[in-house]
Structure 1
Amino acid sequence: MRTTLTIGEVARRTEVAPTTLRYYEKIGLLAAPSRAGGQRRYDDGVLTRLEVIGLCKAAGFMLDEIAALLNDDAPGRPASRELAQAKLAEIDTQMATLARAREIIEWAMACD
């Protein structure tokens, strides 16, 4: 039997606010949990899903993009691949910009 967690337990374990959890349910990032006594009861698999969502956010994906990634079940996952390739190009551009900014700051700091 899998463990069920209250919204407060999920929030504590993932550091995701209960309001955010409810919002994720509303927009379809999280499946609506079962209820017991009127309280949400999440399957412990929600912890992994929230970790994936958090990692995607850290990589710069928007919530609608994350939903597309998580819901892409087509063979070969073409939508996911296209989104990932676009995000990698965006990250490469950001990294180049940051590297140039670092060079300029280091140059400025070396000036007397």
Structure 2
Amino acid sequence: MAPVNDLELTLSQARTREPPMLTIGEVARRSGVAATTLRYYEQIGLLPAPIRLGGQRRYDEAVLSRLEVIALCKTAGFALDEIQRLFADDAPGRPASRALARAKLAQIDAQLESLARARAVIEWGMRCTCPSIDACTCGIHPTRPAPVGPDVRSARRF
């Protein structure tokens, strides 16, 4: 007989040693993802539709792992539609996911190189004791780039 209310659901889980089902508030609290975002992820297919009990969403613990993967993908720069494609790719060997991951790794590598250059410039600037970059004579700063295009006013200044 299927559980009818929260008490019966809890007793049913205790008898079968199933992990407790989580409310949307509990998932939000434990994952750090807002309840509105959880509903949106469900709407666009990033999260599977949870069971409903008394009109309330009830999630199993696996949703927390999935949310962690989504967060890591977002940190890596994947857009939500790209994350959807990663989860949806069930072809043998997942070639579409692998191609998407390779492209993202190339973007991350380019960002890391750019950040390393920015860090070096900041570190050089911190060693400089000149009154200003324009008046710098210590040679620490990289040379200023030449103006690009016919408009000299558009040249970047350091």
Shorter-chain TM range is over 0.9
1:48 aligns with 2:68: no
| 1:86 alignment partner in structure 2 | 103
TM-score (norm 1): 0.96
Q: Which whole-Å CA distance do the structure 1 matches of 2:53 and 2:124 have between them?
A: 62
Instruction: Tell me: higher relative CO, structure 1 or 2? Use CA pairs within 8 A at least 6 residues apart.
Output: 1
1:13 maps to 30
Aligned Cα root-mean-square deviation (Å): 0.9
Amino acid at match of 2:123: E
TM-score relative to the length of structure 2: 0.69
* Structure of higher CA gyration radius: 2
Aligned length: 112
Q: Which whole-Å deviations, capped at 9, do the CAs of 1:38-92 have from their partners, x for residues lacking one?
A: 1011122111111111111111111011111111100010011011000100000
Which runs of structure 1 show a deviation greater than 4 angstroms over 4 or more consecutive aligned residues? none
Report sequence identity in percent. 71
Task: Report the counterpart of residue 75 of structure 1 in structure 2.
Answer: 92
Q: Which structure shows the higher helix fraction?
A: 1
Cα distance between partner residues in 2 of 1:19 and 1:95: 33
User: Partners in 2 of 1:2 and 1:75 — Cα distance?
Assistant: 31
Q: Which runs of 5+ in 1 are unaligned?
A: none
Distance 2:108 2:54 in 1: 46
Structure 2: runs of 5 or more not aligned: 1-17, 130-158
Q: What letter matches 1:67 in structure 2?
A: Q
